[in-house]
Chain A
């Protein structure tokens, strides 16, 4: 179990189930107690459908647990009104999605600057310089003005990483950031991600099955061990 002197994130008695529309609900997640130490890097692994994305969404405050509470840097985000949770997320949580989810109408640089605009933490006049800087550190100096459709998958994912780091968030979540990349590119991107993102003041939670990640992580969490909902309930199949 990951633990540290001061947990940055605490997940306590959290369950999540989805309504099925026919009156029944589908239980997906049931986690008794989980902490992530500040400044640590945790890799989450588990089979498909085991609730990894659901867990990250809950920690990001993108969705709410059915029961239980999640605390991020002493803030119980499950108790926050939605607007404040949005603001909290904008400033303190960077999220790299399973698919790149870049905004198609905007250039690489603008995608990063948009995250700053929504958070409002970086002063407007510093945004361009900071975004350029981040992208350059990820090797995207020559791609600043490219729209997502003109970026390779590896480049797009680097932009997504830069965007997650745009506000210098204390918590970075990454959901299989390299699942759709070929093995070599995945390794490169992950290595760069760690190089840029790892920081004593920053807590990383990365869903990944990549050796690079597993080796450099402080902790490895297996969903099968922490989620009391088995990942292949028959009702799950009927939903799909």
Chain B
């Protein structure tokens, strides 16, 4: 028998109350762990997604929407720009690489992204690398010769069950223009895993509206300048035009982070609520336990237990229950984050539900400390229990 076994035995003795308290602690901890893991992952995805290209050129409108749509495929589609904009940028001396992007329909929810092979090229400045897992990249078609070759992102291929050689289309009206899978990409842990790529001419041929347009459309052009110092001038010139706007993705990143700052605030509020709930639950549970136990406390004192021993027993008991609740909460939190990560992956976010860092020990230690703090007042109540008065009913 040790003091810890005594505390544990008391926890067992009021199993229902103990389980309820532990569960409430576990839920709180799980909430905190899951939210922070997921929000951290979302932030990370944004950082990685936005930084390869210096400029995104698209139709006039909300800059944030343009970046969210083109880079993360999140927001609703933005209006078109003309293919000519791409050609001008491609031929501009200051531009190192310009990549056209046209986005339209989807197959089984996986967005169609029409572009060129440059989209996948391994430029030395790129943080992101594309590798073909099976097959090859699509052919860069001549403008009037669509090849209908598709390269499929890893998640899209897995979920939609596409293999090299498969022909597919969505909707009867598209049956005339089936795409053929020529390659499957290796996972990039980015929104591109949930996309289906093919050439811009294929897109124009498949899209009914585009077919009829004399001037062919694009959604955006991704631009990499040769020199960073040329970026502001390019940015200015493109924004002067009535139809196009140029956006620094890094500036949008700031906007998004401000939004995520809001999420941080929400997280902070969640944390505060959880802390209060844990405090209240442990306090109430230990308070009522101590009141119900005054005679046993008096008995232990009469057996020679010191006041400090009684105090420690109460603290130890609440420490044990917070420890159990906290440990379960950390595990459940990761499970929730795991499920959340799967849901987010469908939206192109990559989060690591098992990222281990300062978070887990901090939350765990925090909840144990909180549990002990909540038991301080009940512990003092136990400490002050008068022995003779509670030892026996008066004769």
Contact = CB atoms under 8 A, between A and B. Distances in A.
Note whether A and B form a binding pair. yes
Interface of A: 48-49, 52-54, 57, 60, 62-63, 82-83, 86-87, 89-91, 93, 95, 97-99, 101, 103-106, 110, 113-119, 127, 163, 167, 175
Given A57-B388, A97-B391, A118-B305, 10 more contacts: A52-B395, A53-B392, A54-B388, A62-B388, A83-B306, A86-B304, A90-B304, A106-B9, A118-B304, A167-B304
B40 interface: no
Interface string B27-42: 0000000000000000
A98 B302 contact: no
Kindly name the residue among A91, A97, A103, A104 whose own CB sees the greatest number of chain B CB atoms within 10 A. Answer: A103
Contacts of B296: 101, 103-104
Interface residues of B, number: 27
A97 B13 contact: no
A164 B123 CA distance: 84
B395 A53 contact: yes
A130 B307 CA distance: 26
Contact of B301 (A62, A91, A105): A62
14 contacts: A52-B395, A57-B387, A62-B391, A89-B302, A90-B305, A95-B303, A98-B395, A99-B392, A103-B296, A105-B10, A105-B13, A110-B9, A114-B303, A119-B304
The B interface, classified by DSSP as helix, strand, loop or mixed, is helix
Contacts of B395: 48-49, 52-53, 98
Contacts of A167: 304
B387 A114 contact: no
The A interface, classified by DSSP as helix, strand, loop or mixed, is helix
Contact of A114 (B6, B13, B301, B306): B6
Contacts of B387: 57, 62-63
A103 B299 contact: yes
A105 B306 CA distance: 20
A127 B2 CA distance: 12
Contacts of B233: none
B210 interface: no
B159 to A, nearest CB: 54
B362 interface: no
A223 B307 CA distance: 32
Given A105-B13, A117-B2, A97 B304 contact: no
B331 to A, nearest CB: 28
Contact of A110 (B1, B304, B306, B307): B1
A114 B392 contact: no
A105 B9 contact: yes
B48 interface: no
Contacts of B304: 86-87, 89-91, 93, 115, 118-119, 167
B91 interface: no
